Amino acid sequence: MSRLSLLPQPDVEVLEPIGGDEPDSVHEPLDTQSTSIRSQAEILTGTLKPASSGLIAAQRAIVGAVLADNALYDRVAEYLGAADFDDPVCAVVYASITDILEHRIDGVQVADAVSVSMQRHVRKVVGIADLTTLASQPSLARHVLEGYLNLVHNHAAERNLGNRVVLAGDLLNQDGDADSKALAIQELFNNTVSLRTLPYISMGAAAVGALTDLAAVAAQGKPVMGVPYGFHDLDYLTAGMHGGQLIVLGARPSMGKTALALCIGLAAAVAGVHTLMASMEMKAKELSKRAISIASGVDGQALRIAALTESQWDNAVIASEYLSTLPFLIADIPGMKLSNLVALARRLKREGRLGLIVVDYLQIMTPSGNTNQREQQISEISRGLKLLAMELDVPVLVLSQLSRAIESRADRRPMLSDLRESGALEQDADVVLFLHRDDMVKKVGAGTGMAEIIVGKQRAGPLGDVITAFEENTTRFHDFNNPEFLRAQNLVRAPA
C-alpha cells in the first residue's frame, strides 16, 4: 500500500467518472455515478493501485489547470509525464493533452475539454461534462501548482522505485554471473528519483560565471589546467585531462603505448592525483618493474633478470621507496569485465581515492553484456567508459590498438579511421591521441630517441603534434628540456 494512503485524508471532492465500453457511451453526472475510481483503475490496468483522495485531487487539479490554460503545459511537462499519474482518468487525459500540444494530432491546436473529449481513447474513460468540470476549477496560484507538481512527482518516484525493486528481484533470479547482475541492478536504480526537469541557465549568467572563474584563476597567476599529462606542450595544447573526458591513446603494437600511459599515470600521481591503472595485459609486478626503471634510470632488461650493480640496486631501492608514496593503484585482472571496473571505480571515488583511470587496453576488456558481435562489444565498452567518466567526473584514458590499414600507407602516420573495430570509439572519445615513432614504423634509424604524440581529435581545443624524447632502455618518455622527468631523485612533492 502506498505510504500516502496511510495518512489522514483531507475532506475533498473526488471526481469519479464512469465510462461505457463504446466510444460514444453516455456519461452520467458526477452525483449519480456509481463506479469508483479504483474499480475504473482495476478495469484499465488489471491491478488495484491504492491512492489517497488528496493525491487524486492534486493530479486532477494539475490536469484541470492545463486544460484551462495550455500555457502551463511546458512547466508541468518538466515534472510529469502521463505515466506519473496513477489516477487512470488523469493519465489518459494528460496523454491526450500531450499529443495535441506536441502536434501529434493533425488539425488540433488547443487542448481544451471539447478537443480532448473527442479523442476516442478518452471517450472510453471520461465524458465531456466531467472534463468541463475539471477545466472550470479555480485557477491555481503558481506556488500551489508547484506544490502539487512536487507531491505528484514524489509519489510517482516512490511508485517507480517500488517497481524497480521488483525488477531487481527478477534480474537476480536470471542466469548470469553476480558482477553482471550487480551492474544491471545499479543501472536500474540510477536517477530513479531525479526530476524530469532539465537544468538551464541564461547565456548572460553563464558568461558572468565563466568570467568569475577565470578571474579567480588569473589571481593565482597560473593557467587553467586539468590533470597533467606531464608533457609541457601536450598540457598546453589540451589544458590537461578533465573530469568526464574519455581520452583514447592509440598506437600499433610495440610503439610503447603502455609505457606512455604509465608515464602519464605517474605524472598525474606525482601531482597528487589518485590514479587507477586497470591492466589486462601486464601483471602489477611487471608494471612496477617498468615504473622502477622509469624512476631510477636503471636499464629495464637488467631489472628483469636481476643483474644489477651495487649503484643500480641503490637507485632501484630509492625509486621503489618513492613510488610507494604515490597515490597510484593497479588492478591487474586479465580480461577484466567492464562491470568489475565500474564497481571498483565507484568504491574508490566514494573513498576519495580516484582522480584518473587508465585502461590498458580496450580490445582485451570483456563487455558486461552477452552480445557476440565484436563491433557491438567494443561499442558497449567504449560507451560504458564514457558514461563512467561522466558519472564519477574523472578523466578515463583508454589505450587502443590500431588497425593494420596504417601499414599500407607510405608515411604510416595514424589517423582517426585507424581506430580498430568500432566507429563508436571515435564518436565517444573527447580526445584522441596517437603515438607515432618514425624509427619503429620504418625500421630505420632505430633508437633515435624521438616520438610524436599526435592530437587527432579534441572536442574543446586545437589539433597538433607534440615531439617528445623516448629512452629505449627504460621506456621513459619525457620533454627534451626536462631530462629528469619522473626521476625519483628529482621529484619533490608539494605539501598537500
150 and 43: one domain?
A: yes
Residue 210: inside a domain, yes or no?
no
Beta strands per DSSP E along 211-323: 246-251, 275-279
Residue 215: inside a domain, yes or no?
no
User: What kind and span of H or E run contains 143?
Assistant: helix 142-172
Residue among 182, 186, 189 at smallest CA distance from 160: 189
Residue 27: inside a domain, yes or no?
yes
**What is the domain extent for residue 258?**
225-490
Decide if pLDDT at 496 tops 50. no
419 and 299: one domain?
A: yes
Look up residue 462 and give its amino acid.
P
Residue among 384, 344, 387, 390 at smallest CA distance from 368: 384
309 and 457: one domain?
A: yes
| Comparison of pLDDT for 217 and 357, the residue scoring more | 357
Residue with cell 491546436: 109
Distances (CA, A) of 305 to 81, 451, 462: 66, 27, 44
Distance between CA atoms of 363 and 373, rounded to whole angstroms?
A: 13
Residue 295: inside a domain, yes or no?
yes
Distances (CA, A) of 3 to 12, 158, 326: 19, 9, 50
**Does residue 331 contact residue 278 with C-beta atoms inside 8 Å?**
yes
**Does residue 433 contact residue 477 with C-beta atoms inside 8 Å?**
no
384 and 287: one domain?
A: yes
Which CATH number do you get for residue 479? 3.40.50.300
Residue 187: inside a domain, yes or no?
no
**Residue 241 confidence (pLDDT):** 94
Beta strands per DSSP E along 437-475: 450-458, 464-471
**Residue 453 confidence (pLDDT):** 92
309 and 448: one domain?
A: yes
Residue 183: inside a domain, yes or no?
no
Which CATH number do you get for residue 90? 1.10.860.10
Residue with cell 591513446: 249
236 and 113: one domain?
A: no
Distance between CA atoms of 191 and 212, rounded to whole angstroms?
A: 31
Residues contacting 42, CB < 8 A, separation 6+ = 48
Q: Checking DSSP bridges between strand 396-401 and strand 356-360, what pairing results, if any?
A: parallel
Residue 117 confidence class, pLDDT cut points 50, 70, 90: confident
Average pLDDT over residues 193-201: 55
344 and 465: one domain?
A: yes
| Comparison of pLDDT for 252 and 323, the residue scoring more | 323
Report how many domains make up the chain.
Answer: 2
Residue 175: inside a domain, yes or no?
no
143 and 245: one domain?
A: no
Name beta bridge partners: 49. Answer: none
148 and 255: one domain?
A: no
Residue 369 confidence class, pLDDT cut points 50, 70, 90: low
Residue 348: inside a domain, yes or no?
yes
Q: Which of 120, 141, 163 is the last residue of a domain?
A: 163
386 and 468: one domain?
A: yes
Beta strands per DSSP E along 282-347: 328-331
385 and 240: one domain?
A: yes
| Comparison of pLDDT for 265 and 408, the residue scoring more | 265
**Residue 44 confidence (pLDDT):** 34
Number of alpha carbons in the 13 Å side-chain half-sphere of residue 337: 13
Average pLDDT over residues 50-79: 82
279 and 378: one domain?
A: yes
Hey, how many other C-beta atoms are within 10 angstroms of the C-beta on 192? Answer: 13
Q: Which of 142, 163, 184 is the last residue of a domain?
A: 163
Q: Which of 120, 139, 163 is the last residue of a domain?
A: 163
